[in-house]
A and B are shown apart, each in its own frame.
Chain A
Amino acid sequence: MTQPADTLLQLSAVGKRFGGLVALSDVTLHIKRGEIYGLIGPNGAGKTTLFNILTGLYFLDTGSFTFDNNSYTRCPPHRLAQAGIARTFQNIRLFANMSALENIMVGRHLRTRTGIWGALTRHAAARAEEATTLQRAYELLRYVGISCPAHTLAKNLSYGEQRRLEIARALATEPKLLALDEPAAGMNATETASLKTLLQAIRAGGITVLLIEHDVKLILGLCDRVAVLDYGKKIAEGVPDEIRNDPAVITAYMGGHAT
């Protein structure tokens, strides 16, 4: 299948079931380079399942997906990270007993090469790489706005900073697509506002953003395009203004028979 050059991610008729439960069926959507794409839907709509397929944690049952013009239909997570998809998790999954700095340094793993020999001898190339890794980690800490000392253990960071650290760790992998699973969950209005600024900065830096969110106001205020999932199906897609007035979306969220 040929795609328009500006398509970064293309999902074609993706389906996934868990035993008798159909988590996703026939979901087709595409994400363009450089946009912020939102994915909303009620609880259990299949948003996180879709995320897990994109990041290789689940394999899809039917359909296919291509990223950056390559097919990654059955591909382990580290290969997808290599290809340029980085994610955060709905329930924060940092490396709790490592420092904030080390968490980001782990993100640099797949863009660095030092092996056993380099680790043991610390030859010039290994030292240079380690120094770059460290410098980049400090830069990312500042970039996402974490003000704690760099050696604070991840588990001792505040909730908002943990969310930011996850984003920094994902950015360290130099992604083309940054997939965020409910980054604003549990944040207050101020934190959400600064998250919005951060995401806009990330997009301005040339990284495409995919966002799952419950905060509809944030999604509609931030995203270029939005898709709505309900019971594993895509029920709407479009720019925020279209979504706001889409009868199917209103039904899904409000229930009943809105007209």
Chain B
Amino acid sequence: MNTHQTNFVRTSMLDQSTPPVLEKGYIAWIRKNLLATPLDAVLTIIALLVLAWFLPPAIKWLFIDASWTGGGRGVCATAAQGGSQPEGWSGACWAFVGAKFDVFMFGRYPIDERWRPMLVGALFIALLVPILIPRIPYKGLNAILLFGVLPILSFFILIGGVLGLPYVETPLWGGLMVTLILSFVGIAVSLPLGIVLALGRRSTMPVIRLLCTTFIEIVRGIPLITVLFMASVMLPLFLPQGMTVDKFLRAVIGVSLFASAYMAEVVRGGLQAIPKGQAEGADSLGLSYWQKMRLIILPQALKLVIPGIVNTFIGLFKDTSLVSIIGMFDLLGIVRQNFSDANWASPVTPLSGLVFAGFTFWLFCFGMSRYSGFMERKLDKGHKR
């Protein structure tokens, strides 16, 4: 009998076939990410046109046409401007930045004494790096050294007049050094002061609350430049005759007070987010006000507002550039001052110097914001959904 085999059982697997060309590799990626809809296609074309219009000239100006070495304005000026470059040339003058690099870092700090700011910088990095890496222990001791001992030590190292170090007055300080000192002191003062102000604003004592609120609202309502003017013009008026405050210190005071008002509002946001039960629990355990704040409330509140605190730090760092308006030479101030150096003045010098200063500021601020993002993820205990 010849039965017809009707069923079919596959005994061998088919070879895997490749996905359609349009669904894999860079073609699929381009289709999905650049040309998903007609509108996307148009946007992509516009973006490409903008890039084509902007990027090549920018790269040409910044790198290809830039003059990297040279001892004077000749390398950065066209023949008609009294230099060696061909007519119509325009490029970054990195030679200017290179020649002035030391000045941009230290200002008019005496050349023989520049090891002092470098030493302070090295100490600062040596203390800062371990506090930033979460795994390294002894955070408390580290913080005391960084925020308590280092500022005092640095002050004496930088200003001198003790232990045989020559005295270097603050008007000679300048450049990135001043920017960093101002922002570091501002940060070190504004955080504790901001916490105190925030606690004061939430205090149950009306007089304290009113004082703190008034201070915070006034400072937050006016521009930093007016605060700096107050510090530089009005502070001498407020003090008795003969008592003067160093100009540098005035700027430090102005910047710190300004930042602490903003810090206070950030901290208050954190305090408000802590459930009332936490404070009540602390009260029922018999903790005093300061114990309650130090052990229960603030650790939770501060952790919540780390992004806000770092944003305030970044703002403070950027705001230090304003001291150049009241006649101090921070990084931006010293770069601008050197535009008019007869040895280097040319049409491209200002832009080159500003690009350099901008990149330096950007590097610090971007680093801070990246670190804050890292800490946020690190400290996230998973309470958030």
Real complex partners, A and B? no
